[in-house]
Amino acid sequence: MTTNITDEKISRLEELFAGLPGLGPRSASRIVAELLTTRRQDAQRLCQDLSETLASVHHCPRCHTLTTLPMCSVCADEARDKSVVCVVETPADLQAIEASVAYKGGYFVLMGRVNPLQAVGPEELGVDTLLGRIDKEPIDEVVIATSYTPEGETTAHLLAGVLKKHKPQLKVTRLARGLPSGVEIEYTDAATIASAVAGRR
Amino acid sequence: MTTNITDEKISRLEELFAGLPGLGPRSASRIVAELLTTRRQDAQRLCQDLSETLASVHHCPRCHTLTTLPMCSVCADEARDKSVVCVVETPADLQAIEASVAYKGGYFVLMGRVNPLQAVGPEELGVDTLLGRIDKEPIDEVVIATSYTPEGETTAHLLAGVLKKHKPQLKVTRLARGLPSGVEIEYTDAATIASAVAGRR
């Protein structure tokens, strides 16, 4: 069933949707059918909002997250703690930390992670902007909040090296590892238990 | 994490995507992030194709499926068997039957199913267009290919009644029920086995 055999334009639209992350041919064809019939208003808003946002979106000059404002709302917020910067991989990670309401400092978004095979090192992730901020702003601590995956750990390791070399008295920390909320110890993997034991307090 | 807390325009876009069938807040925010960064070209094509298709899409005057052409490509195809019409609920069902390459007749798309609670009866599903076709065209058989769900069965039942009343000599059939390909009898539900036994040949 995949794409529309009876109409080329609709088929092209279905293919575009099917290529988006998390969607396949079936969900794409359902989405297109709804957008073209019962949800034409949503479809019109989608066209308009997407083209407007595409035209105005850019990276925040201070933290590199995606924004349509001259400076993102976190960076523009005078009430944020200027002494600490949290380094994350993506804008979605920034959102997740903001949603926890546990952190009141600034951010720096790498927009990726170190990938030696694609020649993505700390420079390609905009580390120079971060070092410039460390020179100009009263930053005491950098929290490295990259993923606990091999690539995320490598990124954290390289980044910590660059930061320590640039400013030896800087405090470089990593988010605590341990057991997530709502889990039973019995069903937790060994690596998580090991890090929870090591970090006990 | 859900929607973007740092930028209203991006957040609105994420909400629009999150409201589409099969998508949630997380997949929506991933889609938006990709469209605004690594896949800007796809995003531009999406805007353009969607607004063009929205402007030109309509129901085929003969079979009611969605099309951007004056008449859908199945209806416009002179080589199709004009003596048989297959009635389906949605354009996706039409695609599925076309993909089977087992049917060479015409179609009629109800664009829904009978729903007494929402006052959707055969008239609301465009049965008059179908009856008009039966009067004008040399149609001998109508295959009712609505879903094997309670609503689909009700639709089939009511439709068969209307068709038989309109033209008593018309052959009204239903797609065969039975075991689907690639399944083991042991794991098949009782209703499917019962219909396969009743329809054995």
A61: in domain: no
Cβ–Cβ under 8 Å, residues B95 and B50: no
Question: For the domain that residue A98 is a member of, what is the CATH number?
Answer: 3.40.1360.10
Interface test with A, best of B95, B97, B115 (most A CBs within 10 A): B95
Q: Are residues A51 and A73 in the same domain?
A: no
Between the alpha carbon of residue A45 and those of residues A21, B15, B129, the distances in Å are 21, 11, 33
The per-residue pLDDT for range B133-158, each reduced to its tens digit, is 999 999 999 999 999 899 999 999 99
Count of Cβ atoms closer than 10 Å to residue B129 Cβ: 15
In a domain, A17, yes or no: yes
Considering the domain architecture, whether residues A7 and A29 belong to the same structural domain is answered as: yes
Mean pLDDT of B118-122: 88
Number of domains comprising chain B: 2
In a shared domain, residues B40 and B120: no
**Comparison of pLDDT for A104 and B182, the residue scoring more:** A104
Identify whether residues B77 and B130 lie together within a single domain.
yes
Q: Does A155 touch chain B (CB under 8 A)?
A: no
CB contact under 8 A, A53 and B9: yes
What's the CA gap between A168 and A140, in Å, rounded?
Answer: 11
Q: Is the pLDDT of residue B2 over 60?
A: no
Residue B61 domain-assigned (yes or no)? no
User: In the predicted model, what is the mean pLDDT of chain B?
Assistant: 90
Considering only CB atoms, A54 lies closest to which of B22, B43, B73, namely B43
The answer to whether position B20 is within a domain reads: yes
The pTM assigned to this predicted structure is 0.77
Which of the residue ranges A101-105, A162-166, B79-83 would you say has the lowest mean pLDDT? A101-105
Count CA within 13 A, CB hemisphere, residue A152.
13
A122 and A29 share a domain?
Answer: no
Give the pLDDT mean for A20-41.
Answer: 91
Q: Mean pLDDT over all residues of chain A? A: 90
Q: What is the pLDDT of residue B3?
A: 54
Whether chain A has a CB inside 8 Å of the CB on B104: the answer is no
Which residues of chain B are within 8 Å of residue A56 when distances are taken between CB atoms?
A: 9
Give the C-alpha separation, B4 to B2, whole Å: 7
Residues B38 and B116 in one domain: no
**Residues on chain A touching B125 (C-beta within 8 angstroms):** none
- Assess whether B146 and B185 both reside in one domain: yes
Cβ within 8 Å, pair A66-B91: no
- Which residues constitute the domain of residue B6? 2-56
pLDDT band at B4 (very low <50, low <70, confident <90, very high): low
pLDDT at B185: 82
Tokens 């020179």 sit on residue: A135
pLDDT confidence of residue A1? 41
| Residue A165 sits in the same domain as residue A97 | yes
Token reading at B17: 């995507």
For residue range B72-93, list pLDDT tens digits in order.
999 999 999 999 999 999 888 8
CATH classification at residue B22: 1.10.8.420
Asked if residue B6 has pLDDT above 60, the reply is yes
